[in-house]
Amino acid sequence: MTDFFPHPSVATKVPGIKTPAIALVGLNGFGRQHLLNIHRLVKLGKIRFVAGAGPDDPGPAIRGEDTPIFASLDSLIASGIKPDIIIVSTPINTHYELAMSALATGADLYLEKPPTATLEQYERLLTATRAAGIRVQVGFQAIGSKALEAIEEFFCGDPEQSPIGTLRAVGASGTWVRTKGYYDRAPWAGRRTLNGKHIADGVITNPLAHAVMSALHIAGARLTSDIAELSTELYHAHNIEADDTSVVRLKTTSGIPVTAALTVCASEQRDPWITIYGTEGQATLYYTRDELVVQPNPESGKEEYICTFGRTNLLENLVDFQRGDAPALLCPLESAGAFMQVLEHVRTAPAPSALPVAEIHYEGQGSEYHPVIPNIEQFIDRAVSAQSGFSSLDAPWAPPAHFSGTLKLRNPQNSEQVIVARRRTGSDIAPTNSPRPFLDQLCTLSGVVLCAQQPLDHTWHLGVGVALQDVNGTNFWGGRTFTRDALRYIWRKDHGLIRTVSEHFDETRQTVDSHLEWVDHHQKVLMDERRRVSAEGFRVDGTEGWVLDFSFTLSSREHTVSLGSPGSNGRERGGYGGFFWRLPSVNHGEIYTEAHHGEEQVHGTKSDWLAFSADFSADSVPLNSKTTGHGRATLLFCSSDDDPWFVRYAGYPGIGSSLAWDRPVYLRPHSSITRNMRVLVVDGTLSKTQASIFAEHLRNQPALEANG
């Protein structure tokens, strides 16, 4: 847009204004906070409070004895009073009309957030204010924090001098508590529309809007044109129309992902925070108290530190800017454009989904009555860290994540069909987690959940599947990459994806055949994969369970392909990559082979079988809703491939078979490599003798070929 007039956010000296006159529209609600601030600035001699407007006069003890009060802004204007600044602190649906009326006075405007109820209103207001040369400050108070200036300095110079490197992502987390009384306080509260007018209330756009706005600000998204991609998941547990528990995921035009996961249905209220993810660490901004916690990566040798900053009051900034004593408005109307894109997406999205009553706890009485979503804090943390949605994380109250099919078997105890695994496409996984197909919801026949996906400790761990960290320089594992040059893990823009070309489910044999393509970070296909996965019942010597047969063949095309790992790139005993099963939280775990026992002994060894037995606790809710999801179970991994076992237990539980343990594997043009893993899944514990017998039984069964 071309400006044909002086831009209102450029400071110029305005002669003759010594003590600007202030009028406040909206004297109750948040208007009370404005009154406190106005009285503070009056005492400092910086402003004069000349009038108030609103239907509910709080009384002279609160707004001042000598201040004239009018029923509306129109009547205030008709009185002949000429304010220099008009503050609009009224319900969201009234902002646009009041702001347009205020423009006619020639006064500058302090407009509470969000500035308008629709994007169209915002754009009209922005055009009108620019044409009139009116300055507009939007009341996102957190933007006045001096911590934001410190954060900007992290990324404006040499990344090696920054305590956390280069900016790579921003997250906003909010876990608040709001009661029935909060939503009963006004007719518009918790509404999307009221009497035909847009309200756009909701956790994203109102109570935790500052979290969203602060995250956008840090990510460099200010204008409407600064957002390239945007999606939301909206829910409500309160008996309201708007959302109270939601996720916003977006990407800026400069490529920075922003994720906001917010709720007002937490078990207890915490100060909201913004996480700034860098390539060499992260920082956490608690914006309500202007506290910044800086955490460089431990290997950097830099110390963690905490700083508390001051804050510039936005009304005071507008006053100083109007007088020419401040260089810029801190939150001009233009800079709310990206936020308004988010608001518009929320406003026009389908109505928020109501959470099932069975998934909610209720606390308090009367006006303090409020819903609590169990474990919502965990889902908030995982959503932000994984740049994911509640559905993808298998929140029990969210719609199921997209899956292409399930494997089902009969439970011999009750003859009921049990879903023992589900195939996910991986299309909903964040790019830095290397999207790829995987199995999740794996469980025993009694429903004990046996895998985790997108866990908080390693959000790129995806159930059961195939992943490699270095394929011709592309990371198909997710997260940081261990490089031979640096001999450490570093964040790189090297993440690939594995996409499904075709798949076929054979329900009779409970088998799925897939043709997959491994696409590098330059969007070039490096390999084809043919994968076959099947499930079949198991009964030997009175032990019942089921067997997962997992086979895959990787084939190169016209060029040689190098298959590598951190181990092949110089990390001692870090050769993970290939088949990998991420386990959920466990207790009293035992890891053993025929010759070894425990993580330290088994890790890196070769053997025909490996057993993992533990008390499993459900990280996700099983598809079989009749079961509890936790209990004692054993996994018996069997393979005839000459690959070392990759074992983790102390840091996190996971079992893998290492395709490139300490040196790369090369696929010459048009060549291939095949691997097969069979996993016996049983409830309870297997002795070493039983494990050896069952492993021999599985070895004698013909292997399924991954012919896709």
Dump pLDDT digits (tens) for 352-404: 999 999 999 999 999 999 999 999 999 999 999 999 999 999 999 999 998 99
* Residue-wise DSSP of 163-177: TT-SEEEEEEEEE-B
CA 707 to centroid of chain Cα atoms: 37
pLDDT at 82: 95
Read off the tokens for 623: 């598809």
Q: What span, in angstroms and rounded, lies between the C-alpha atoms of 330 and 321?
A: 10
Residue 708 in this model has a pLDDT that exceeds 90: no
Average pLDDT, the chain: 94
Q: What span, in angstroms and rounded, lies between the C-alpha atoms of 563 and 629?
A: 36
Read off the tokens for 677: 């893993």
Residue 475 contacts residue 576 (beta carbons within 8 Å): no
pLDDT at 7: 41
- Interstrand relation of 48-53 and 69-70 (parallel, antiparallel or unpaired): parallel
SS (H, E, C) 181-223: HHHHCCCCCCCCEECCEECCCCCCCCCCHHHHHHHHHHCCCCC
Phi, psi of 518 (to 5 degrees): -95, 110
Q: What is the DSSP secondary structure assignment for residue 367, as one 8-state letter?
A: G
Residue entry with tokens 């594992």? 477
Average pLDDT over residues 12-19: 58
Tell me the one-letter amino acid at 690: Q
pLDDT at 57: 84
Structure-model confidence comparison of residues 71 and 706, the more confident one: 71
Q: What span, in angstroms and rounded, lies between the C-alpha atoms of 47 and 322?
A: 12
- Cβ-based neighbours of 697, under 8 Å, separated by 6 or more: 540
Residue 222 contacts residue 335 (beta carbons within 8 Å): yes
Read off the tokens for 240: 């309201």
396 φ/ψ sector (left φ>0, alpha ψ -120 to 50, else beta) = alpha
Q: How far apart, in Å, are the Cα atoms of 322 and each of 47, 134, 312, 405, 601?
A: 12, 10, 15, 62, 71
Q: What is the DSSP secondary structure assignment for residue 591, as one 8-state letter?
A: E
Dump pLDDT digits (tens) for 115-163: 999 999 999 999 999 999 999 999 999 999 999 999 999 999 888 899 9
Nearest 5 degrees, angle CA 145-CA 147-CA 153? 130
Residue range(s) occupied by CATH 3.30.360.10 in the chain: 146-307+334-382
Dump pLDDT digits (tens) for 626-646: 445 789 999 999 999 999 999
Three-state DSSP at 334 gives: helix
Q: In what order do the strands lie in the sheet with 273-278?
A: 305-308, 291-296, 281-286, 273-278, 167-175, 257-263, 245-252, 227-236, 353-354
Q: What is the DSSP secondary structure assignment for residue 330, as one 8-state letter?
A: S
pLDDT band at 589 (very low <50, low <70, confident <90, very high): very high
pLDDT at 622: 45
- Region 21-143: CATH code: 3.40.50.720
Phi, psi of 125 (to 5 degrees): -65, -40
- Using alpha carbons, select from 547, 572, 573 the residue that is nearest to residue 639: 547
Q: What span, in angstroms and rounded, lies between the C-alpha atoms of 391 and 428?
A: 9
311-312-313-318 Cα dihedral, nearest 10 degrees: -160
Neighbour tally for 267: CB within 10 Å: 15
Q: What span, in angstroms and rounded, lies between the C-alpha atoms of 180 and 200?
A: 19
Residue range(s) occupied by CATH 2.70.98 in the chain: 400-699
Neighbour tally for 663: CB within 10 Å: 11
pLDDT at 584: 95
Q: What would you measure as the largest C-alpha separation in the chain, in angstroms?
A: 97
Residue 259 contacts residue 247 (beta carbons within 8 Å): yes
pLDDT at 626: 44
Q: For residue 590, list its beta bridge partners.
A: 613
Dump pLDDT digits (tens) for 464-495: 999 999 999 999 999 999 999 999 999 999 99
pLDDT at 707: 54
- Region 146-307+334-382: CATH code: 3.30.360.10
pLDDT at 15: 52
Dump pLDDT digits (tens) for 314-350: 999 999 999 999 999 999 999 999 999 999 999 999 9
pLDDT at 625: 43
Q: What span, in angstroms and rounded, lies between the C-alpha atoms of 52 and 574?
A: 68
The fold of the 400-699 domain, in CATH, is Beta-galactosidase; Chain A, domain 5 (2.70.98)
Residue 649 contacts residue 599 (beta carbons within 8 Å): yes
Average pLDDT over residues 70-78: 96
Q: What span, in angstroms and rounded, lies between the C-alpha atoms of 339 and 145?
A: 18
Q: What span, in angstroms and rounded, lies between the C-alpha atoms of 60 and 312?
A: 28
Dump pLDDT digits (tens) for 521-570: 999 999 999 999 999 999 999 999 999 999 999 999 999 999 999 999 99
pLDDT band at 10 (very low <50, low <70, confident <90, very high): very low
Q: What is the DSSP secondary structure assignment for residue 603, as one 8-state letter?
A: T
pLDDT band at 13 (very low <50, low <70, confident <90, very high): very low
Residue 583 contacts residue 620 (beta carbons within 8 Å): no
Residue range(s) occupied by CATH 3.40.50.720 in the chain: 21-143
**Residue ranges of the alpha helices (H) in 583-623?**
599-602
**Residue ranges of the alpha helices (H) in 26-94?**
31-43, 60-63, 73-78
Predicted TM-score (pTM) of this structure = 0.93
Average pLDDT over residues 603-612: 98
Residue entry with tokens 């893993």? 677
Cα first-last separation, the chain: 54
Residue 8 in this model has a pLDDT that exceeds 50: no
Helices (H) and strands (E) in the chain, counts: 13, 39
